[in-house]
Structure 1
Amino acid sequence: MTDARVPILMYHAVATDPNGATRALSVTPEAFAEQMAVLADRGLTPLTTAGLAACWRSGRPLPGRPVLVTFDDGYEGVHRHALPVLAKHGFPATLFVATGWLRGPYDTGGGLDTMLDWDQVRALASAGVEIGGHSHSHPQLDQVSEATLRFELIHCKEIISDQLGAVPVSFAYPYGYSTRRVRQVVRETGYAQALAVGNGLARRAQGPYALRRVTVRRDTGIEEFERMVEGRAIARTFAKDRALTRGYALVRRTRRAARTVARSGG
């Protein structure tokens, strides 16, 4: 199954009453429980990000009907609401933390809602959740200087290593944005694989530093979720998202070029 197309689910907050900043990309605890039941009922096999990448890197066969459950940023509901459901089914998952957003000694105050603290992150890791990096302050990495890019990646990695006693091997790009330069620095700083967004199924051919994910939102209905994990109608489901992404990508490239000219004095 080295040519398999794998759904990598991207979650953010799991909350009953999220704030306005996280509502659209949140799911209710009830919806999350129902979605995990779908995975169990359909016989899908959740993997961690490191587990999927290791199979593809080595050529080992994937388990039957693989799927990944991933969470970005580090919202408190991942521990409060998602972990009991994952434990009930025996599902592994991957949590990508923005280290400067978590409550504790490194908190920059940038967290968008109630965030995890490090005791909760350690509890998640002990329960089989892979902890990956998501930068320190959650910037658009393709828009920052080389020095800032390296700081964001290395500082995040060092904090996770210090807090958990294990070096993170997986990374997720904040906002899903990356360039060849960003991917190269992610590789150079020691991350073995990285996830983008793309709203498509992951394939080995995408390479270990640009694996695609599909977004699960508050308005993702259960029938849409079922199609998503079955790999059906992905293009139609996310057609609007892709059009908006292409348009915004053009705007961002123009801004980046303008900044480059300004720095060079051109």
Structure 2
Amino acid sequence: MYHAVAADPNVATRALSVTPEAFARQMALLAELGFTPVGTADLAGSWRSGRPLPGRPVLITFDDGYEGVHRHALPTLAEHGFPATLFVTTGWLRGPYDTGGAPDTMLDWDQVRELACSGVEIGGHSHSHPQLDQLPDARLRFELVRCREILGDRLGRAPASFAYPYGYSSRRVRAAVRETGYAQALAVGNDLARRRQGPYALRRVTVRRGTGLEEFERVVRGRAIARTFAADRALTKGYALVRGARRAGRLVTGPRG
């Protein structure tokens, strides 16, 4: 799971960005090790149908829709012939639906279309990037439907895949994603995706600015993942309890003015 690919990101996106040079080295390593990148829809479709995956499959994803995915990542992906999936927050992209609040320079719609024409699967990532598990039902549905409708209108094809903002979901959120028409969805979890996770809770591992090439190799080989992301997992579990308590409190007390 990538976010921004940028030489000089701003403070808000720096920790979860990678430099163009680091991204190029990581993709070259995947090629050298014989990995075969697949798209999100291809992965889920293979697991649903029972079709075998190619040897050493790997899923390359980008969240949010930062401009550097087009400027820096796309040429590297094209060099290796690698597919990938980009999950966009439609209200953050530059253009007529921009709601403001994007943390850095985002893609415009021409760039999104060029990415789609270049073999990058475009998936949904909500409209305004909220914590979906904290939203009331009507607002949750709006975020999912608005994102899907805009992508369908702009690209001529509704997205099949979704990624939860911040990686947060719940049984209610996953059901809403399915009912909206998405065929599969990705979380974070910092673990390998496995068929038993189900099509709406597939896990990914985070690639950060501080991820060195040796650590990257260990992760893609599936080695020492639990140790590498131990702190992340502990924080995720703790914060899940906090978020659950917050939502339960709102349901008991009702909305505030």
TM-score (norm 1): 0.95
Pairwise CA distance, 1:110: 1.8
In structure 2, C-alpha distance between the alignment counterparts of 1:141 and 1:255, rounded to whole Å: 13
Partner of 2:175: 184
- The answer to whether 1:240 aligns with 2:231 is yes
The aligned amino acid for 1:41 is E
* C-alpha distance after superposition, 1:76-105 (max 9, x if no partner): 000000000000000000000000000000
The aligned amino acid for 2:144 is L
* C-alpha distance after superposition, 1:18-56 (max 9, x if no partner): 001000000000000000001000000000000000000
Partner of 1:213: 204
Partner of 2:213: 222
SS at match of 1:131: strand
Partner of 1:145: 136
* C-alpha distance after superposition, 1:207-241 (max 9, x if no partner): 00000000000000100000010000000000010
- The answer to whether 1:256 aligns with 2:247 is yes
SS at match of 1:178: coil
- The answer to whether 1:70 aligns with 2:61 is yes
RMSD (Å), alpha carbons: 0.9
In structure 1, C-alpha distance between the alignment counterparts of 2:101 and 2:50, rounded to whole Å: 40
Identical aligned pairs, as a percentage? 79
In structure 1, C-alpha distance between the alignment counterparts of 2:57 and 2:27, rounded to whole Å: 13
Any unmatched runs of 5+ in structure 1? 1-9
The aligned amino acid for 1:177 is Y
Pairwise CA distance, 1:264: 8.3
Partner of 1:113: 104
In structure 1, C-alpha distance between the alignment counterparts of 2:135 and 2:255, rounded to whole Å: 15
- The answer to whether 1:93 aligns with 2:103 is no
Aligned residues: 256
* C-alpha distance after superposition, 1:160-210 (max 9, x if no partner): 001000110000000000000000010001000000000000000000000
In structure 2, C-alpha distance between the alignment counterparts of 1:264 and 1:118, rounded to whole Å: 36
- Deviation above 4 Å: which 4+ runs of structure 1? none
The aligned amino acid for 1:80 is R
In structure 1, C-alpha distance between the alignment counterparts of 2:51 and 2:141, rounded to whole Å: 32
In structure 2, C-alpha distance between the alignment counterparts of 1:139 and 1:264, rounded to whole Å: 17
Any unmatched runs of 5+ in structure 2? none
TM-score (norm 2): 0.98
Q: Which has the higher contact order (CA 8 A, sep 6+)?
A: 1
Partner of 2:166: 175
In structure 1, C-alpha distance between the alignment counterparts of 2:203 and 2:146, rounded to whole Å: 25
In structure 1, C-alpha distance between the alignment counterparts of 2:159 and 2:247, rounded to whole Å: 30
The aligned amino acid for 2:40 is T
